[in-house]
Amino acid sequence: MTRPTVFLDRDGTIIVERHYLSDPALVELEVGAAQGLKLLQDLGHPLVVVSNQSGIGRGKFTLDDAHTVNARVAELLAEQGVTIAGWYMCPHAPGTDCRCRKPLIGMPEQARAELGLSWDGCYVIGDKRIDVELGQAIGGTGLLVTTGHGLEDQAWALGQQIPVFDGLLSACQYIVDTIDRAQVSPR
């Protein structure tokens, strides 16, 4: 059985939020992030990072800086046995006319085309309302984590009956539990 794709925000979700992160030496995995991702990966869920990196468009750091940070995140995850299927970034500042800035669907569209992924039953996990809205825009389920900026959107999410979690590990466990329940429930 093909497992649903899980799209992930980077900053404040997989790694500790650092405002306009451009230095790979400052990359730090969120507590439990690698364990949660490993759980999903071991069950066959494709893992794809979709990240707004407006610092590029604002001139705070370069595209190469962002790629170097992504490489460091990938390295730290690999040390825990986790491989990300694809890395996608929107380098544009807010207000720029683009199709990729979350919650627009450009990054998941690109991932679907390049990686041959399905959106059926997919999830988007992130620490901002735009991540949840991206999940809804592609017909999936958005999950909010309260790491990073998540507490700022927690009341909104709860008011919309959107699942909220204390971190990536518990969000990943929710996905596993939800799918397992669906597989064993009578039809």
Q: How far apart are the first and last CA of the chain?
A: 18
Annotation marks residue 11 as catalytic: yes
Question: Choosing from 9, 65, 127, 153, which is the catalytic residue?
Answer: 9
Sign, CA dihedral 125-130-134-139, equals: positive
The two tokens of residue 121 are 């039953």
> Could you tell me if residue 44 is left (phi over 0), alpha (psi between -120 and 50 degrees) or otherwise beta?
left
Provide CB contacts within 8 A for 23, sequence distance 6+. 65, 69
Distance CA 130, CA 16 (A): 18
Distance CA 145, CA 102 (A): 16
The two tokens of residue 95 are 């207000």
Distance CA 13, CA 165 (A): 11
Annotation marks residue 177 as catalytic: no
The two tokens of residue 33 are 């992030």
> Which positions are catalytic?
9, 11
